[in-house]
Amino acid sequence: MNYMTINNRRVAFTNEKNVLSVIRKSGIDLPTFCYHSELSTYGACRMCVVEDDRGRVFASCSETPRDGMVIYTNTPRLQHHRKMIIELLLASHCRDCTTCAKNGVCTLQKLSRQLGVMEVRFENNKKQLPKDMTSECIVRDPNKCILCGDCVRTCDEIQGLGVLDFAFRGSKMQVTPAFNKDLAQTDCVGCGQCRAVCPTGAITIKQNVGAVWRALADNNTRVVVQIAPAVRVAIGDKFGIKKGENVLGRLVAALRRIGFDEIYDTNFGADLTVMEESKELVERLESGENLPLFTSCCPAWVKFCEKKYPEFRKNISTCRSPQEMFGALIKEEARMNAKKDTRKTMVISIMPCTAKKSEITRPEHFTDGEQNVDYVLTTTEVTRMIQEAGIDLAQVKPEALDMPFGIASGAGAIFGVTGGVTEAVLRRLVNSNKVEDLEAISFTGVRGVDGIKEAKVQLGDREVRIAVVNGLQSASEVLDQMKAGEVNYDFVEVMACKRGCIAGGGQPVPIGPRTKKARLEGLYKIDNLAQIKLSNQNPIVMTAYDGILKGKEHKLLHNEYSA
């Protein structure tokens, strides 16, 4: 055990990677703009500076802890230094905080308040640049960028895309796509991970709240809403509810008060996906064609594969994602009942994901010329709607989902975490709800947070080789190894976001390690408590196959991604 002295207190440390981590461990929340434990250390914002006993000032994120170090975190010199940084950042920042999407959750705003910056003595002479509204998923406002580089490193190091980078020099420096292109013209896959780390309003979610309010106010529109697995363990964050707690019942109650006509569960759609994807896996294993089978429920991954590895397009499952399967089902039902109910049916999805906004407009997600899902609202947008309606989620009494599509298995719930889709498909194929069999699947290696996990499962007389991948940089590694013939799999699950949808780009921020862990545990808890563990044991799923889906499985539940 080593020790350092922080503000005259002795603090023990072991293998913390930098002085900042030791300081934070000791209970001092030193501010930073550019430090994220999962990214490389940039050391540019200088907010985490500390002073040692010899008067040396240095960035604590970039310094290795040493035994016997003596440091101070809040001397007058440091206070002055930090205030000056904030003042200079504000000086070149458009300060329309009241109307900014990040109002209340902006780190720049928070730190100016925390550090007592009450005035800005310098003029903002910076030329205002246009916003980039071309993406269906995110909005980029360069006027609010503080050049911390968090988005640049996330896009490059975690997603392996490198869409954003620094350009120009000195006071003209900007973060922008190469050649100053619009986002829509780049390889951006819409995952929103840049938005999840952006400390200010420079990258925000494309909003669809207005359109949904208008639909809700229209008596001739039946507004059906579905709730994604990962939303229920995240939306409580913004209402002071314990992190990771399942607030599905409260959310249902709030949505009903807001005026949604029918409220269902995307987990039901996930159960349908399990049924179709497990069938597809068995078919491909039998025919030996287009193996490995790639999952298709993460739209950012699908786009990534199409753009970067088009030779693997045929490997992507033809299954529509759970939100799309569910949307197609609701719209089909509405078409069949059109004579009885003359209202227009609109399907809204509440998703943790910004990429889902572009999934719904893809041509293959139309059925009979109609869009399966009309609007995607991220968890963050729904939080705003609930607040706008004056509802406190912490105070509402939980209510039940509507029937019949309010029943889902635990397998559907764990879709929201990396490895969940694979585990759910394996449950279906092993087809046993004995505790020891369920546990055996969970111990195959599909659970856990590593970027690439491998598992082998015996299905009948065949050993099925599986890779579970999260983060697109890890996906590149796996695909490159496949291309080089170094690895061989039968089934590959990819989720673009690290740890899966619980950390999706539309979730409430900040999404630090503690938050991710709590959300992950929250979803496994839902599964643990679920009476139905297997998708094929969901009675409504089986009723749907005998009814509305009969003879229409392909039309409603599948796409063709073939080239």
Indicate which residues carry an active-site annotation.
Answer: 277, 280, 297, 317, 356, 359, 364, 501
Retrieve residue 336's tokens: 């069949």
Instruction: State how far the Cα of 235 lies from the Cα of 383, in Å rounded to an integer.
Output: 7
Residues 500 to 559: which contact ligand SF4 by CB under 6 A? Answer: 500-501, 504
148 close to 34: Cβ distance less than 8 angstroms = yes
Residues 319-338, one symbol each (x = binds ligand HC1 by CB under 6 A, - = not), give --xxx---------------
Please answer whether residues 17 and 27 qualify as being in contact, where contact means their C-beta atoms are separated by less than 8 angstroms: no
Identified binder of ligand SF4 from the candidate list 65, 177, 269, 352, rule CB under 6 A: 352
| Selected range binding ligand SF4 among 169-177, 280-288, 495-503, 525-533, rule: CB under 6 A | 495-503
Residue 541 found at the interface with ligand HC1 (CB under 6 A): no
Q: Which long-range contacts (CB under 8 A, 24 or more apart) does 155-159 make?
A: 155/193, 155/194, 157/39, 157/40, 157/473, 158/38, 158/39, 158/193, 158/471, 158/472, 158/473, 158/498, 159/189, 159/191, 159/193, 159/471, 159/472, 159/473, 159/496
Closer CB to ligand HC1, 109 or 409, in the complex: 409
Angle between helices 539-546 and 266-287 (to 10 degrees): 70
Q: Which residues contact 428 (CB under 8 A, 6 or more apart)?
A: 274, 275, 278, 411, 534, 535, 536
Secondary structure letter of residue 128 according to DSSP: P
For 371, other C-beta atoms within 10 Å of its C-beta total 19
Does 254 sit near ligand SF4 (CB under 6 A)?
no
Give the nearest residue (CB) to ligand HC1. Answer: 501
- Token pair, residue 518, equals 């709590």
Residue nearer to ligand SF4 on the CB measure, 291 or 355? 355
Distance of CA 486 to the CA centre of its chain: 30
When the beta carbons of 69 and 298 are compared against ligand SF4, the nearer one is 298
Specify the stretch interacting with ligand SF4 by CB under 6 A; choose among 154-162, 211-219, 305-313, 489-497.
489-497
Residue among 415, 489, 524, 561 that touches ligand HC1 (CB under 6 A): 415
Question: Using CB distances below 5 to 8 A depending on partner kind, what does residue 487 bind out of ligand SF4, ligand HC1, none?
Answer: none
Tell me which stretch binds ligand HC1 (CB under 6 A): 95-103, 279-287, 349-357, 479-487.
Answer: 349-357
Closest approach of Cβ 423 to ligand HC1, in Å? 12
Q: Which of 545, 462, 471 is nearest to 505 (CA)?
A: 471
Strand partners, 140: 132, 203
Both ends of the chain: CA-CA distance in Å? 58
* Binders in 272-301 for ligand SF4, by CB under 6 A: 298-301
Q: Where in 272-311 is the site for ligand HC1 (CB under 6 A)?
A: 297-298
Q: Could you give the 3-state DSSP secondary structure of residue 291?
A: coil
Asked if 355 interacts with ligand SF4 (CB under 6 A), we say: yes
Question: What span, in angstroms and rounded, lies between the C-alpha atoms of 249 and 198?
Answer: 31
Choosing among ligand SF4, ligand HC1, none, which partner's interface includes residue 496 (Cβ < 5 to 8 Å by kind)?
ligand SF4
**Contact pattern for ligand SF4 over residues 439 through 478, marking x by CB under 6 A:** ----------------------------------------
Q: Rule CB under 6 A: which residues touch ligand HC1?
A: 228-230, 266-267, 269-270, 297-298, 321-323, 351-353, 356, 415-416, 500-501, 504
Q: Rule CB under 6 A: which residues touch ligand SF4?
A: 191, 298-301, 352-353, 355, 495-497, 500-501, 504
